[in-house]
Structure 1
Amino acid sequence: MQTHLYLLLLAVGISAAPHMSSMAELLTLVQQMRASMARDSWDMRIETPDNIDDVNCVSTIFEGAEQLKTNAAMKNFSIFFQKFERLKQSLTPSPAKEVKCDTERKNAIIFVEKLMMFIRRNIKKARV
């Protein structure tokens, strides 16, 4: 019985590993994106959630990432946007009515900083 439990836990750990790896890679890419943006002058403004932990704001985060993706300077980070899009289903709460998310149009660099926090928090949630 203990062997079966051990194998089951091992299988669960292995299945979670790709998700954790993807999240860590996303975090690295978004940090590189932030550094690149800091070197350039950015006056693009993106709708940014006031509270990054609010489950009602997840779609706003993905919409902001889509808007960021349209900027020509972001073509070097196409891998980030592809990987982030693939994780959309696992990061988006189950289909329920989404309540209004409090947002404000902020500088793209501030949006990316909030995006980094969002990814970090999801890494922590996946570890638990």
Structure 2
Amino acid sequence: MKTHLYLLLLAAGISAAPQMSSMAELLTLLQQMCEAMTNDVQNLRIETPDNIDDVNCVSTIFEGTEQLRTNPAMKKFSVFFQNFERLKQSLPASLAKEGKCDTERRNATIFIEKLMMFIRKASKNARL
């Protein structure tokens, strides 16, 4: 129940972003990011939540996104990162006080795939 409430809040935050109003656009940018990955980025290891549905892993998702953003090869996806930062700021402060999140260091492609799953689930819950 708590996860569904969080995902509804997340979906509202994403859809309220002025320059990118749909989750489909976020997913498209993420797909392009995956396809454009160079070997340098693919070798990047990012702390990735084992369970993307775990509300305790919200900060891990944002930290991994920040790690991607700081990679020079990701500069052309700055619009995605700006909108994702707005989403982060729109979340309630109570979500910052999270519990334990089980993670594993994985390559950037796997992290992006998990991030796409996270956004898809938020999108489905927003349509309820």
How do 1:30-109 and structure 2 match up within 5 A? Answer: 30-37=30-37, 40-41=38-39, 42-90=42-90, 92=91, 95=94, 97-109=97-109
Identity of aligned residues (%): 72
Q: Which amino acid aligns with 2:79?
A: I
Q: How many Å separate the matches in 1 of 2:89 and 2:126?
A: 14
Q: Which amino acid aligns with 1:31?
A: Q
TM-score w.r.t. the length of structure 1 is 0.77
Q: Which residue of 2 aligns with 1:4?
A: none
What RMSD over aligned residues (CA atoms) do the two structures have, in Å? 1.9
Note the C-alpha offset of 1:24: 2.0
Q: Which amino acid aligns with 1:95?
A: S
C-alpha distance after superposition, 1:98-119 (max 9, x if no partner): 1110001000110011011111
- If you compute each CA radius of gyration, which structure gives the higher value, 1 or 2? 1
Q: Which residue of 1 aligns with 2:123?
A: 123
Structure 1 regions of 5+ residues with no counterpart? 1-15
User: In the alignment, which of 16, 19, 26 is matched to residue 15 of structure 2?
Assistant: 19
Q: Which portions of structure 1, spanning 4 or more consecutive aligned residues, are displaced by more than 6 angstroms?
A: none
Tell me: CA distance 1:51–1:93, structure 2 relative to 1, closer, same or farther (3 Å).
farther
Structure 2 regions of 5+ residues with no counterpart? 1-11
SS of equivalent residue, structure 1 residue 87: helix
Q: Which amino acid aligns with 2:53?
A: D
C-alpha distance after superposition, 1:59-109 (max 9, x if no partner): 10000000010100000000000011111245x466053111000100011
